[in-house]
Structure 1
Amino acid sequence: MTETMVTAGPLRLWTERTGDPGRPAVLLIMGSSAQGYSCPDTLVDRLVDRGVQVIRYDHRDTGLSSVVDVDRHPYGLSDLAADALAVLDAYRLPSAHIAGASMGGMIAQWLGVHAPDRVRSLTLLSTSPMGARPGDLPPPADRFLEHLADTAGDPPGVDADVALFRVMNGDVRPFDEPACRAMLERCWARAVDPSAAAHHGLIARMAGPDLRTPLSTITAPTTIVHGDRDPVVPLAHGEALAAAIPHAELHVVPGMGHVYCSPGLPELIAGLIRL
């Protein structure tokens, strides 16, 4: 395992590679406001056991990566996709298997549409069609929205995030609080500016015509993995993706919510990532 800071235009992004550099690569792209370490180590290790190298990284405004002055330099999904391409370039990877979760899944779709030569396969986890407009698909579950409303004035920190992850985990599979708390403590301890991650909430305002390119233009082999108890992005979003992308395979994981904080779930997800 090696950590490297790579250059993406004027920014520097923290990256980590695990596994044999001579193997095919999987690039893991995490969700909104999420560091690379929000992907469980057990998922990374299981992928390496499957015979690949795994690269994960901190988005701009998260973890050890550069903090952006968004008032002067607003950015959108295409800019985050350019960051992902910069990571591939830094590792001299002409292409990789791309696995993206939540917002990371939208970045992965963007790459599949606009940079198809860099994509060996797509795995879209717990995500929504990148061009979907408000009202096109079901909203988050009431219990998730109620949690956000009830905690809106609470101080940020590990405890607040553990409570949020408990709700996002869904209401069926057990919540592995010790593992989740350890991950969140690790992320909070290494964040250059924890408040900067909130900048990702502005991305929807930067939607451009590049997000409306039909997903039917995706040619990479695609797998969609979605939980049937996702309180943030309901299953209908994954079903819409499967209908839009030619020959996509949809795997519905019973009882899975929006995060992978149940015992055994990271290993299960690693086994479904397309290689």
Structure 2
Amino acid sequence: MIGNNEAVVTEMMLPVNGIEVCASTFGERSDPAVLLIGGAACSMDWWADEFCRRLAAGGRYVIRYDHRDTGRTTSFPVGDPGYSGVDLAHDALGVLDALHIHRAHLVGQSLGGMLAQRIALDRPHRVLSLTLISTSRGPRSTPPTSPQPSPSQSPSQSPAASQAPPPLEKAPEQPDWTDRRATVDHIVESVRSIGGAFTAEEPQLRRMAERVFDRTNDMAASQTNHFIAEPGPPYRDRLGELKVPTLVLHGTQDPFFTPASAEALAAAIPGAKLIWLEGVGHEYAPEALWPVVLEAILSQPR
């Protein structure tokens, strides 16, 4: 464990599956590794620097990275990504391979949680634990037969009162992605529209959105391709095979994946524990909830 890990933060370009992936690390390599896997269209910036530092201070070697088509990682033609969710999952493993890490704790946000589930099913020997945040059980093997729930559905409703979970993340109407101001405005509004009681104030979100814009190779590809890429083969029926310690963290105000979806995910994984994030929407954990999220991640067996 280290007292001030800011000095040992590094950022690098890694050769992964024929592309270049930008990654950043925090902490000591001798500590157990935690791989942070972001949501759709999200660069690693959304895993806040200070959040990563605090996680590393808890005795973990923290790794975050830009998905393909986000941040400084290789971009693909807009509207023609040529990759699937399986490739995105392989990229996560490729980051570990490039860093010579055999096993890691996986922490996945939204789409990242689905990628983490796929990795744990297909490569269980690479996974120490799962922490699944604001996510669901992934694509279905067959289309839903019941209506989709309204985003305004009350979180207090029981699973029996809720319909099937919503589809994977959808792209909102797009601005001119070459226009920095319009793009920043769009990102800020998008985050606030699906946030909760503790979502950051506009000035902080604007600074983050500006950082994202300035670090991204191709904003149009970043904000388009993940939403049209094939998710890959469904795995819902296999979740009972998981044997790794699993935590499911879910916001009580998430308008995207209902509380019933979170309960279904936790119920499908043997031994999984569900932790509610009070007042949180479909978003990276706001700073006010960091103590809860950090404690959960650090509670996983080393």
Matched with 1:238 is 262
Matched with 1:13 is 21
Alignment partner of 2:128: what SS?
A: strand
Structure 1 pair 208/131, CA: closer, same or farther in 2 (3 Å)? same
Matched with 1:222 is 246
Offset of 1:140 from its aligned partner? 5.8
Alignment partner of 1:123: what SS?
A: strand
CA contact (8 A) 1:7 1:13 kept: yes
Alignment partner of 2:293: what SS?
A: helix
Matched with 1:168 is 194
Structure 1 pair 139/35, CA: closer, same or farther in 2 (3 Å)? farther
CA contact (8 A) 1:29 1:98 kept: yes
The equivalent position to 1:56 in structure 2, one of 60, 64, 86, is 64
Per-residue Cα deviation, 1:79-106 (whole angstroms, up to 9, x for no partner): 1011001000011111000000000000
Matched with 2:38 is 30
Matched with 1:192 is 217
Offset of 1:206 from its aligned partner? 4.4
Q: Distance in 2 between matches of 1:101 and 1:95?
A: 19
Q: Distance in 1 between matches of 2:283 and 2:238?
A: 27
CA contact (8 A) 2:191 2:283 kept: yes
Per-residue Cα deviation, 1:113-166 (whole angstroms, up to 9, x for no partner): 0010000000000001024365379546159x9xx99x7264450111101111
Structure 1 pair 71/258, CA: closer, same or farther in 2 (3 Å)? closer
Give the root-mean-square deviation of aligned CA atoms.
2.5
Matched with 2:157 is none
Structure 1 pair 254/155, CA: closer, same or farther in 2 (3 Å)? same
Aligned residues with identical type, % of pairs: 37
Structure 1 pair 188/70, CA: closer, same or farther in 2 (3 Å)? closer
Matched with 1:152 is 173
Q: Distance in 2 between matches of 1:190 and 1:173?
A: 26
CA contact (8 A) 1:113 1:213 kept: no
CA contact (8 A) 1:77 1:206 kept: yes
CA contact (8 A) 1:59 1:65 kept: yes
Aligned amino acid, residue 195 of structure 1? A
- 1:94 matched to 2:120? The reply is no
The equivalent position to 1:83 in structure 2, one of 85, 91, 116, is 91
The equivalent position to 1:208 in structure 2, one of 230, 233, 249, is 233
CA contact (8 A) 1:46 1:267 kept: no
Matched with 1:120 is 128
Query: How many residues are paired up?
Result: 268
CA contact (8 A) 1:158 1:181 kept: yes
The equivalent position to 2:151 in structure 1, one of 134, 141, 150, is 141
Structure 1 pair 179/164, CA: closer, same or farther in 2 (3 Å)? same
Offset of 1:8 from its aligned partner? 1.4
Q: Distance in 1 between matches of 2:136 and 2:15?
A: 29
Q: Distance in 1 between matches of 2:51 and 2:148?
A: 29
Structure 1 pair 174/110, CA: closer, same or farther in 2 (3 Å)? closer
Aligned amino acid, residue 47 of structure 2? C
Matched with 1:42 is 50
Gap runs ≥5 in structure 2: 1-8, 154-165, 178-182
Q: Distance in 1 between matches of 2:195 and 2:147?
A: 21
Alignment partner of 2:112: what SS?
A: helix
Gap runs ≥5 in structure 1: none
Offset of 1:258 from its aligned partner? 1.0
Matched with 2:159 is none
Alignment partner of 1:264: what SS?
A: helix
